């Protein structure tokens, strides 16, 4: 196949592209606007492949989308491009409405226009996979409850609300226009190449600098953690074997309190970091509790039984193995995150023309 991936320079998108190029025979077109979270450094392992191409474009720009579809003639789309940071959505919801809602609408219309002009056999094989989040469901009241594919939506943040809206758009295009869509809702991702504003890399890098490790509220919020490479495998499985118009929840089967995640990071760093910052004997000493953010959901947990039974997928990493790989990667790849911290990754764009 020739697969068009939107948001391919982001955290999950770059992991997916690295997987597609290194572990499959497919051609990949990476469509990314290169906002602050888009980092072409994350694609250096596959950038020289003859099966990889990059297009810098905004998913809200319909003219560019039509050109890209006409030029590359993809057999499938995996739509990941989105604004995804909850705190940023609280500070400035407008960008989230534009990218997550208007951008998804533009992708759907460009994709549908292209799909309508294909031969009957090509239309039958075409797929549009929309990648979403478990945050659209709100939070869980009971300790044994799980998000399932038929759980009602109840988003708490502007980010979650715009992702919920984009999910509804995708399903409506599938039902009204018979456009061959698929939807996935995933739990919290973590792993190599994640932007430092997210919880796990933020804690690792702060600890290395001897800076406070800020925990919202009492740190007892529970999340299900999914290693990003497992997510990439799941997305490809859904694309290739999933049934159009179906939704598949993708979870890591690793429920953890935020405070326990940070404590585990600290314990691994105590073991691996020999040159600790001054006045730090144990990294856990740096944990600092701060005022909780507005609308903070208490617990997310995904029931991944459907994708496990119907598509034969399950995560390869448990949290213990995945978090150790993640911490070690950040310790061994300081060049990558230093370029993010100092902003040089945005200045050069590695030949992207920005």
Burial of 273 (0-12, 13-18, 19+ CB in 10 A): middle
pLDDT averaged over every residue in the chain: 94
Q: What CA–CA distance (Å, rounded) separates 199 from 258?
A: 9
The total number of structural domains that make up the chain = 1
pLDDT tens-digit readout, 161-188 = 999 999 999 999 999 999 999 999 999 9
Q: Which tokens is 63 given?
A: 């003219």
* DSSP class of 100: I
Q: How far is CA 131 from the centre of its chain?
A: 8
Look-up: residue for tokens 């030029």? Answer: 71
What is the per-residue pLDDT for 57? 97
What is the per-residue pLDDT for 70? 98
What is the per-residue pLDDT for 293? 79
What is the per-residue pLDDT for 144? 75
Q: What CA–CA distance (Å, rounded) separates 167 from 132?
A: 7
What is the per-residue pLDDT for 336? 96
Q: Which tokens is 43 given?
A: 């694609």
User: Does 270 have pLDDT greater than 60?
Assistant: yes
The catalytic site residues sit at 134-135, 159
User: Does 108 have pLDDT greater than 70?
Assistant: yes
User: Does 61 have pLDDT greater than 50?
Assistant: yes
Q: From start to end of the chain, where are the E strands? A: 2-6, 27-32, 52-56, 76-79, 127-133, 181-186, 188-190, 213-216, 222-227, 247-250, 255-257, 287-290
Domain extent at residue 119 = 2-351
Q: What CA–CA distance (Å, rounded) separates 177 from 235?
A: 23
Q: What CA–CA distance (Å, rounded) separates 53 from 99?
A: 22
pLDDT tens-digit readout, 14-27 = 999 999 999 999 99
User: Does 55 have pLDDT greater than 50?
Assistant: yes
What is the per-residue pLDDT for 352? 45
User: Does 353 have pLDDT greater than 50?
Assistant: no
Closest to 304 measured CA to CA, from 134, 140, 80: 134
The CATH number linked to 341 is 3.40.50.720
């Amino acid at each position: 196949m020739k697969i068009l991936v939107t948001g391919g320079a982001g955290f999950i998108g770059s992991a997916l592209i690295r997987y597609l190029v290194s572990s499959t025979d497919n051609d990949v077109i990476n469509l990314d606007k290169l906002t602050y979270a888009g980092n072409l450094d994350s694609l250096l392992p596959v950038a020289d492949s003859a099966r990889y191409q990059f297009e810098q474009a905004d998913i809200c720009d319909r003219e560019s989308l039509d050109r890209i579809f006409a030029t590359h003639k993809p057999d499938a789309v995996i739509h990941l491009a989105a604004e995804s940071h909850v705190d940023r959505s609280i500070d400035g919801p407008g960008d989230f409405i534009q990218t997550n809602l208007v951008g998804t609408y533009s992708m759907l219309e460009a994709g549908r226009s292209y799909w309508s002009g294909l031969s009957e056999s090509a239309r039958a094989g075409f797929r549009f996979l929309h990648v979403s989040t478990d945050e659209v469901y709100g939070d869980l009241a009971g300790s044994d409850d799980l998000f399932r594919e038929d759980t009602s939506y109840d988003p708490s943040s502007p980010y979650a609300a715009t992702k919920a809206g984009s999910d509804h758009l995708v399903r409506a295009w599938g039902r009204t226009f018979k456009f061959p869509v698929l939807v996935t809702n995933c739990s919290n991702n973590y792993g190599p190449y994640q932007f430092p504003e997210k919880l796990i890399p933020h804690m690792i890098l702060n600890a290395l600098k001897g800076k406070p490790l800020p925990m919202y509220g009492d740190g007892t919020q529970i999340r299900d953690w999914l290693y990003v490479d497992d997510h990439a495998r799941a997305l490809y499985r859904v694309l290739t074997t999933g049934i159009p118009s179906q939704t598949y929840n993708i979870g890591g089967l690793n429920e953890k309190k935020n405070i326990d995640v940070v404590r585990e990071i600290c314990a691994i760093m105590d073991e691996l970091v020999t040159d600790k910052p001054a006045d730090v004997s144990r990294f856990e000493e740096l944990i600092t509790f701060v005022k909780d953010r507005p609308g903070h959901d208490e617990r997310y947990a995904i029931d991944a039984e459907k994708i496990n039974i119907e598509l034969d997928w399950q995560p390869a990493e448990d949290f213990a193995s995945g978090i150790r790989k993640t911490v070690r990667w950040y310790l061994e790849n300081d060049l990558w995150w230093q370029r993010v911290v100092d902003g040089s990754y945005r200045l050069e764009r590695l030949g992207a023309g920005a």
